Chain A
Amino acid sequence: MQLVKRSPWLMGLGVLLAGLVTAPGARADVTSDESGTLLIYPKVVSDGARDTLIQMSNRTNSVVMVHCFYINASGSCSATVDQSCEIDADCPTSETCIRQCNATNFELVLTAQQPVQWRVSTGRLTTIPSAPCRPGQTCQCTVDSSSGQLVCPGMLIGQNNASFVPPVGTDFVGELKCYQINADGDPLPGNALKGTATIQDLGTGQISEYNALAVAANADPVNGLNSDGELRLNFSGSGAGELNYCPQSLVFTANADGVVDSFTGATITTELTLVPCSELLEEDVPAPVRLRFVGYNEFEQSLSIEAFSFECFLNRGLANLPVNNGGIFVNGNQDLWKIRIAPRPVNVCYTGSNRGGSCSSDADCPGALTGPAGTPLGCLPASGVLGVAEEFYSNNGLAGTAAFNLRHEGSRSGFGDIITLPE
């Protein structure tokens, strides 16, 4: 057997160059204008009325491999199963809202600087490559007659014999998360991924577009992202840690729900979408979120929602925060709201028989599971959140739409957040 000698100088140089190539070049934040290793599309809709176009690209000159999972977050009440819900308050008294929160996985390969796109409802078949468009010809995808999926001009390479981006059908609302991997399928801190999502109304053709959220990874080979089956969002920009911390709070400015726009006469409403930074995919258990909302209107008046809870995914109009038709950030309370959303500083049982309950130690969470790397998934800080918002300008029964990214303030600290990966 031949022994391969490794030069420590060359190895160190490799680390150096890898760092140069992969360094995100910014503070240790979650961003929507930089590339990262973990990419999050918080709002993906394919419900028969709207569909979503995903664009993803590789910003480096190297080939990158990507593992993705759709998280279907449609929810129904625990007993009245025909009733869809976002939170427990949407269900009849004494019932809870049960989110599916299940993941569908697939993998892709992106060549140097390659952009790809796919329609979420149909997915896209692998094409290595299909014929390119020609000048003067219509440039469009075709529908594969056997699968109903799109075949598009361009090169889309499936990974590990996966043949396509899977279709999600027309009963899907949820998120898409993707992370960069190496040839073994383990997370790789390449910080090469960026993306956008365009949500389109199938009836009117109205579109709204937002940038996917990118979480940069620590490329330090000793203290950085590893392959233990857990993605930890616990990096502050120096020292040990895997991926950048989620923000301490989110902030955005919205027109008060129901206000009438002076230029168009349209009634403006806003839908807020939030997803947890923590995700227990291996355990197939939604992460508990506990939030505080504080709004300030243009008169410096403040209103707040002190203890708001959800699991897995939240997609809700301001008029329905905190409860249906009981919104506080609405027209009657002035025209403009700057809303700050922060995870409450409380500990919650992530798994076990007391899942979702408050706790002060793991002993309060009997039966709690452990993550793939042995991290106890018992009493942990309530999950951080990320999100996006979408405005609707409605008149004559038609709605114009505009999505936008939220602002981030500060960074979480301590434990941070955790994503457990399925084996």
Chain B
Amino acid sequence: MISVVKAATRWAFCAAASVVIFAGIASARSTTNRPASIVVWPKIVVDTTGAWGTPTDTKLMLSSTNPSGIKQAHCFYINATGHCSLNNAVACRNSLDCSLREAGECVPSWSETDFDVVLTQEQPLAWYASDGLARGQFPLEGPFRCNAPFNNFQCFTDAQCPNGVGCNSGQSNLGSAIPPAPEDPFIGALVCVQYTGGSQSVPDQTATRNRLYGDATIVRLLEEQADPARYNAIGLEASGQPVQDGRLVLAEGGNYASCPGVLILSHLFDGAVDPISNTPAVQYGTELTLVPCSNDFLTQTPGRAVAQFLVFNEFEQRFSTSRTVDCLFDSVLSRIDTRNPSRSIFSAGVAGSLAGQTRIRGVGGVPPLGSGLLGVARAVLGGVAASSAAYDLHQQGNARSDLIILP
């Protein structure tokens, strides 16, 4: 009987230990499902003239779920557009964009532009990255302005506004200005941090934190139709711990949720024939975009990490490769490890099967910044002019610690 009790005690101890460890593991990390206090759009493309191929723009949405009162978002456009070494006027994403114009190599660059957006309660906002939103274009210009489209009329009562649009004497988007993307063509990212608003605005760790979410639709204008690809922006929830000295710590016990330890990408290998049409000319390709979780906006130092890729095919075989993510990494999968896509471990011919699963882990990092990564994928069916679909990556585990330093 005693031994039974002892056994039960030991078992209970182990079970309790496991619960403790579960609790340790069960900390928050980035999310594409819940509203949060930091919102990251990893991929924004503007190419309205089609300099990089198909005319493209990105529609961005930012929404507040706050049921009462305004919320301010302080946002940073990260411009990762490179320029060709032999012709600085030619913008590029990679060396291919330059070699096609005999303009040398693509020289990467990084700069940020910050701005504020004030959202009223439960308000959704949308804008094209190429345009932004200027004073006069916000829905609720106020205070004491008629509602759109008569924002230029000052008012104190509804009767003073034409067509019954009403006079806004309550919450408004006053203080907001969203600049257009700093160049066209443009590739980059956007990071918005929820602030408390008001005269002493600070990163929001109040009871009404975690009230923002975002969406992006990369819209391509094909010859006869539009090709939209929409993804959920990634959120990092605030913990409630006040931010010190403009340093946002993304870690367990920090100010915000951790970045993921591993990103997991489901994909068909590049060159895999579409199983639905099963026509050899209709093949899949996948673009992967990665951005570092960490950024130093104070000293204008982008986050940097090495992305380690573990690639699994349907035969349970494993391949691996790695690439440096410096500011923003955007590539077709089969150009990650080689300049000859047909010999890539991401090509269907090399992988041997149609479906793949790639695990991506950020390592290295430049202290004090961390090595966490965020990303999004875009599946492309049938070559450059064909259709596409963006989707969020899966995630597993927590990165150790990341840091965003505000200016």
Contacts and interface: CB of A to CB of B under 8 A. Distances in A.
Q: Helix, strand, loop or mixed for chain A's interface?
A: mixed
B68 to A, nearest CB: 11
B17 A16 contact: yes
Contacts of B386: 205
Interface of A: 8-9, 11-13, 15-16, 19-20, 23-27, 29-35, 51, 53, 55, 57, 59, 111-119, 129, 132-141, 143, 150, 152-156, 194-196, 198, 200, 202, 204-211, 220-222, 237-238, 251, 253, 255, 261-264, 266, 296-300, 302, 334-338, 391, 393-396, 398-405, 407-409
Contacts of B277: 200, 202, 205
B387 A15 contact: no
Contacts of B343: 135
* 7 nearest A-B pairs in the assembled complex, by CB-CB distance: A12-B14, A154-B314, A132-B352, A140-B273, A139-B348, A154-B353, A209-B389
A207 B379 contact: yes
A27 B25 CA distance: 10
B349 A136 contact: yes
Given A119-B275, A409-B34, A27 B266 contact: no
Contacts of B219: 261, 263-264, 393
A12 B227 contact: no
Contact of B226 (A25, A221, A264): A264
Nearest to B56: A263
Contacts of A334: 139
Q: How large is the interface on B (under 10, 10 to 19, 20 to 34, 35 or more residues)?
A: 35 or more
Contacts of A117: 268, 275, 354-355
B396 A34 contact: yes
A193 B266 CA distance: 12
Contacts of A337: 124
B388 to A, nearest CB: 7
A398 B349 CA distance: 33
5 contacts: A8-B11, A32-B32, A115-B266, A139-B272, A300-B123
A117 B278 CA distance: 14
A115 B357 contact: yes
Given A155-B316, A300-B120, A401 B18 contact: no
Given A55-B266, A135-B349, A402-B217, A154 B11 contact: no
B310 to A, nearest CB: 8
Contacts of B130: 263
Nearest to B391: A209
Contacts of B266: 55, 57, 115, 194-196
Nearest to A27: B28
Interface stretch (B58-66, B178-186, B198-206, B325-333): B58-66
A336 B389 contact: no
A222 B271 CA distance: 48
A413 to B, nearest CB: 17
B26 A23 contact: yes
B228 A400 contact: yes
Of the candidates A13, A140, A202, the one having the most CB atoms from chain B within 10 angstroms of its own CB is: A140
B356 interface: yes
A153 B34 contact: no
A115 B269 CA distance: 11
A53 B63 CA distance: 31
A15 B28 CA distance: 23
Interface of B: 7-8, 10-11, 13-15, 17-19, 21-23, 25-29, 31-35, 48, 57, 59, 61, 63, 65, 120-126, 128, 130, 139-140, 147-148, 171, 213, 215, 217, 219, 221-222, 224-232, 264, 266, 268-269, 271-278, 280, 282, 312-316, 318, 342-343, 347-357, 359, 379, 381-382, 386-398
A266 B389 contact: no
B11 A300 contact: no
A296 B124 contact: yes
Contact of B21 (A12, A19, A253): A19
A404 B7 CA distance: 51
A139 B316 CA distance: 17
A156 B315 CA distance: 9
Given A154-B355, A155-B315, A251-B65, A407 B128 contact: no
B353 A153 contact: yes
Nearest to A117: B355
Nearest to A6: B7
Contact of B230 (A16, A150, A302, A391): A391
Of the candidates A59, A114, A263, A337, the one having the most CB atoms from chain B within 10 angstroms of its own CB is: A263
Given A141-B354, A337-B124, 12 more contacts: A12-B15, A33-B393, A117-B275, A139-B354, A152-B275, A156-B314, A200-B277, A211-B394, A253-B126, A266-B226, A403-B389, A405-B32
Contact of A135 (B230, B312, B342, B387): B342
A403 B10 CA distance: 50
B10 A12 contact: yes
A86 B173 CA distance: 39
B395 to A, nearest CB: 5
A314 B356 CA distance: 31
Nearest to A201: B387
Contact of A33 (B7, B11, B379, B394): B394
A408 B394 contact: no
B86 to A, nearest CB: 32
Nearest to B61: A253
